[in-house]
Each structure stands twice: as C-alpha cells, then as structure tokens.
Chain A
Amino acid sequence: MAAQDDAPFLRIEGVSKSFGTFEAVKNVSLTVGKGEIFSLLGGSGCGKTTLLRMLAGFETPTKGRIFLDGHDMAAVPPWERPVHMMFQSYAIFPHMTVEANVGYGLKHEVGLSKADRAARVAAMLDLVQLSPFAKRKPHQISGGQRQRVALARALARQPKLLLLDEPLAALDKKLREHTQFELMSIQERTGVTFIVVTHDQEEAMTLSDRIAVMDKGEVRQVGTPTEVYESPSSRFVAGFIGSVNSFEATVVGREASHLRLDVPALGGEVLTRDMPGLVAGQNVSLAVRPEKLRITKDRPEGPNCLAGHVKDLAYFGKDSLYRIALPGALVQAHAVNARRGDEGARIADWDDAVWVSFDPSSAIVLVD
C-alpha cells in the first residue's frame, strides 16, 4: 500500500547528535516514502527517541540534514513544522477538556473559522470514537481513551508526518493488540506518514511497512518486517528480533546451490543456503530460529540432522519450547501443539533421545 514516489518524502542525511561527549545518534541516513508506517526499533538508549525528537524539532542535529517533502527542516522551529507528535506519556493538557485538547493546534491555523474548527474537532473525535467524551477532563477518562485523544490531537492539524513515541507502551496487553489494528486503520484512512518509535519488536513487526533496527546510535538494518526477521544482516539484528540459536562457524566450501559450514558446536558440518561473497576458511555465524528446528524421535531424511536429548521443556498452550542438549551446545526449539491431547501426546519428554533437524534454506549465515 505504501505508494512510493521517486523522490523520498522524508530524507535523513548523515544525521548525528551529540550531548557533550556522548554521541546519541551516529551518522544516520534514512528515507521514508509518503504514506508509509516506518518504525525505529531498538533498546533503550539506542538513539531512536533522539532521532524522533530531531524530526519534531526539539533537538537540532549536530551534523547532517533532514528534508521533508523537499524542504530543509534545519532552521524550522518545532511550532512551524508540519510534523506532529504523539508523546509516550500522551502529554494531554490536564486543564483542558478532551475537545479543547483536540482543537488546541487548530487555533494557530489562520483563516479557519470557528465553525470549521468545531467541525474538524468533531470529525477527529469521531475518527477515534471519542465523541461521547468530548466534554470530559483528561482525568475522567481511561488510559486507552487518553491515547486516542493524543492521536486525534496530533492528527487534527493534518500533519505531513506523524511521530509516535512508544504509542502502545502505556497500555495493558489486551488493549494493545486492539489499538495496534486501530492505529493501522486510522493511518490507512488518513494517509498520513507514520514514524513509530518502539522497543517492542512484535509491535514493530505488526504495525510497520518497514523497520529500521537501531543500536548504539546507529541504524543496523532497514527492511520490511519479513526481511529483518528472515534475513537479518547481522548477529545483533538476528538476536534483537525474535530469538535465535547462533553458533560460530567456518566456511568449508560450496556445493550445488548450498554452502557447507563447519560448526564445531554442532559436532560437524551443515548445509545452508548459498550466500555470495563468502570464501572457504572465512569465520561466520550460523543462526537458526527456534521454530525452524524440527524435533523427531527417528532420524529424518535429508541433511542437517543432529542427535541430542531433551533437557527441558515448557508448555505454553499453543506451542511448546524444548531445550535440547546436543554434544556441544544447548539449542532451543519451538514446536506447535497442533494436536489436542494430554501430556502423553507431546513429541518428546524429558531426557528422551531426539533428532533435531533444519532445512538448509531456513538457516541464516551472518558475517557481521
């Protein structure tokens, strides 16, 4: 759905930000298309919030430039930017009603009549389904409703860019899932470009068209949710998004369309998908996601079969997590509990001897 023009809508060019000697953002370059939901994902202190605040104008880049719709934003103060933000704390004005909060930004809109303003506020309240609460004060509404007030308020001035700082972090788990889809549908209806800062990888995966994974002020990978999950570019990204079993490995050579690796921890050689640019003898990492590992009682056909025994297992309902001791490593494997049954129906039990196998195409080879 992201209709990408030729010239990117938002272009961040080599932006850095230092606070004293601490470099919060290091030489970040990104482009975001019009109408995209773009996430900045990373742990605390990775620089994602600083980057967002530079887009809003609260911080000035130490180096680099930011272009929005072709205009250089450097000298534009926050109050003149067509960029609005939904704050992590929601930052609802406590002394104003819901209605006044949503209408606050409109009072700066020159040439907007009182009636137009009221109509715009009403439309916004309708959009976030808060019309019955228009006259309430912020302390008289719930957390989820406050989140929607913040969203309506930021959207009321029809920004070119909406910045969302941890939009769902303050909500409880049930509400979060519901709100996620609501955010996406509102984005679809308004067509505003969203930039979402989050530390929650699941949130980033479901919400975004594209994700930028950040660490220590740097962007480590930019891609669609599938790209960053299935083809992470580095050990950091692989480990940050989802869980992963990772092992040191050495390239042995190529055969057919596969790559042969020597993995000491797995007690031998394995086959993986080929990756260009690798030479024999090179040190790499092998990463396999827990759900890509198959557990069987009998040795299956095909390559990459490893013998071990069940060290631990945890039952989660829809799936189970096995920890399997191989000769040189402990690996985690997820198995879906597709069949309904009592405890005897599970694949394997504590201390059972099992085979762990994986498809060459589902293994990830990481250089970085």
Chain B
Amino acid sequence: MSRGRFARWFDMRGWTLLLIGAPYVWLVILFLLPFLIVVAMSVATNTPTAPPFSYGGDHPWINLEPFSRVLTDGLYLRAFLTSIMNAFVAMVLCLLIGYPMALGLTRVSKSWRTILLMLVILPFWTSFLLRVYAWMGLMGKNSWFNGLLTDFWNFLVPLDWAIRSVPMMHTNFAVVLVMVYTYLPFMILPLYASLERLDPTLDEAAMDLGSRPYQVFLDVTLPQSIPGIIAGGMLVFIPAAGELVIPSLVGNASQPMIGKIIQDEFGQARDWPMASAVAVALLVLMVVPTMIYSRYQAKAEGAK
C-alpha cells in the first residue's frame, strides 16, 4: 500500500502536533497574550488619547507611578485590606461549617451519603448570581428572615435596645455571609475527599490505645486532613478576594473591594495603567497562597 508523504508525516508527527498545537496556540493568543498586555500596561502612562495609554513621552519608558500609588494611596490599601479581611473571614467560616459537615458526610450510611453529596454539588450547577440573589430576598428589611432575627434580638435585649429590623444589606457582614453561602461547597468537597480516604481502623486503633474521641480527632483525623483544609481554603479565598458581583449587590459601596476598584479605574476613570497595576498587585497577592498550596500538594504527592 503506497501512501503519500504527507499522510505518513501526519501519522507519525502531524497528528500529535495538531493535538498539542491547537489548544496551545489558542491559550497563548487568548490567555497569555492578554495577560502579558496587562502586565505591560501596568507600567505604561495614562494619556487622554484613545486607547488611553502611551509609553515614553515626558515619563521614562517604564512608569512605576501606578505601582507606587497602589502601595501608598489609602484608597487602594483600604480596598486590599477589605478584600483580604472579607475573604479570610469567609474562608474561616467556611472551614468551621464545612469541616464538621464533611466529617458528618463520611459517617452517614452509604445511600444517604450519595444523596447528601449530590445536594452539596447541586448548587454548583445552579446560577451563582441567583444564589446571591436568594440571600438578598432574605436579608431585606421586610423579609420573613430579617423579621425572625429582629424578633429574636428584641426578645433577648431590654426594650430600649429594640430595633425595627436588622441592618444586613449593604454591609461587609452581608458580603461575608453570601460568600460563605456561595463558596461553602468549594470547602466541603476537598475536605470530604481527604477525610473519606482516611482509614477508619486508625480511629479505632487510637481509641483502642486509650484516646478519647476528641483526642482521636486532634491526633489522628485533623493532621491527616490538612491537605484538604488547604485545598478548600485556597478554593474559597482566591475567588472571594477578587469578588466583584457579591459586593456590588449586597456590599457597602463606601467600602469597595479590589475587584470594584479595578472595574472603576478601567471604566469610569479610563486609567488603564492604574487598573492594570491594581490587577497585577492582586495577582501577586494570589500567587503567594497558591505557591504554599502547590508546595503542600507536592509534599503530599511525595509522601504517597
């Protein structure tokens, strides 16, 4: 059977080249290149032209002013602080709720486990925006939920302290609450994955050796689930810190998070270099925890 030289080349090398090349080229053009443009943009100078940036001119070719503003201007520092605080508190709360839930999931019967796991995953498939929206309905002044909380508060405290409703909407508390709500499955799933792998006979061995249940938890269960805690923590912290939608709907406009700052610098202020510098700074902030995470993962892989 004689076959063309192209067909032979395609079988031996061309096919592999196509398989690797197509997604590679796509990602280089539509992900890497835009990203590099942002990095380059962060050292450009803002000008009233279209597009609103230039290199050179009065300034040196590289303009570090946007970065120095990120580090010195109170607006940016406050926004970073708010973002980190909100994301961190949301992460800790997710852990506090998610850990016992994940542990509980490993202890229920097999058929229940399948159903409950599906219930944890189900929100993933439903609209993020609508899940945020669901809480807006609950937190509003006239909602049954707010009314319930108000009644509870008024029942506990003296009459003078009575309130008409709990001020929840447009606060950082609301942002954190909704973040916990929307990101809780991200925490539960990796935790469950790491807890499920644990050998139940280890618990029994520890108890057999005289440990009380809480000691078993501290000595056996908790140390072994650290990779899951870190994975879950990263999965909550990273999107939470860059969150744009949740604060825009339930947050306090006078305490913007960093995502809002980037959007405003780019849109309203038309200061592309500044927006890019803030974005790069946010990314640097993300890289640190991610590196910790991947080091942990590498360690866990090595231990296996």
Contact = CB atoms under 8 A, between A and B. Distances in A.
A–B in direct contact per CB < 8 Å: yes
Nearest to B11: A77
Interface string B5-29: 0000001100000000000000000
Contacts of B11: 77, 79
Nearest to B3: A80
Interface of A: 77, 79, 110
Nearest to A79: B11
B108 to A, nearest CB: 29
B130 interface: no
A335 B51 CA distance: 95
4 contacts: A77-B11, A77-B12, A79-B11, A110-B1
A343 B55 CA distance: 99
Contacts of A110: 1
A110 B1 CA distance: 9
Contacts of A77: 11-12
Nearest to B1: A110
Top-3 shortest CB links A-B: A77-B12, A110-B1, A77-B11
Contacts of B12: 77
B12 to A, nearest CB: 6
A77 B11 CA distance: 9
A79 B12 CA distance: 10
Nearest to A110: B1
A79 B15 CA distance: 14
Summarize B's interface: helix, strand, loop or mixed: helix
Contacts of B1: 110
Nearest to B12: A77
A77 B12 CA distance: 8
B149 to A, nearest CB: 55
A93 to B, nearest CB: 20
A293 B71 CA distance: 86
B178 to A, nearest CB: 44
A65 to B, nearest CB: 19
A160 B11 CA distance: 23
Nearest to B8: A77
A77 B3 CA distance: 14
A79 B1 CA distance: 13
A166 to B, nearest CB: 25
B73 to A, nearest CB: 52
A77 B7 CA distance: 13
A302 B248 CA distance: 102
B212 to A, nearest CB: 44
Nearest to A75: B12
B247 to A, nearest CB: 48
Nearest to A77: B12
A215 to B, nearest CB: 29
B91 to A, nearest CB: 41
A16 to B, nearest CB: 22
A335 to B, nearest CB: 43
Contacts of A79: 11
A336 B155 CA distance: 92
A111 to B, nearest CB: 10
A146 to B, nearest CB: 29
A79 B11 CA distance: 10
A146 B12 CA distance: 31
B65 to A, nearest CB: 49
Interface in B278-304: none
B14 to A, nearest CB: 13
B7 to A, nearest CB: 12
A247 B140 CA distance: 91
A278 B1 CA distance: 58
A110 B11 CA distance: 18
A118 to B, nearest CB: 23
A110 B2 CA distance: 13
A79 B10 CA distance: 14
A351 B44 CA distance: 93
Interface string B59-84: 00000000000000000000000000
Interface in B85-107: none
A112 to B, nearest CB: 13
A109 to B, nearest CB: 11
B10 to A, nearest CB: 12
B232 to A, nearest CB: 33
A46 B49 CA distance: 69
B9 to A, nearest CB: 12
A110 B12 CA distance: 21
A156 B41 CA distance: 63
B298 to A, nearest CB: 21
A61 to B, nearest CB: 17
A71 to B, nearest CB: 15
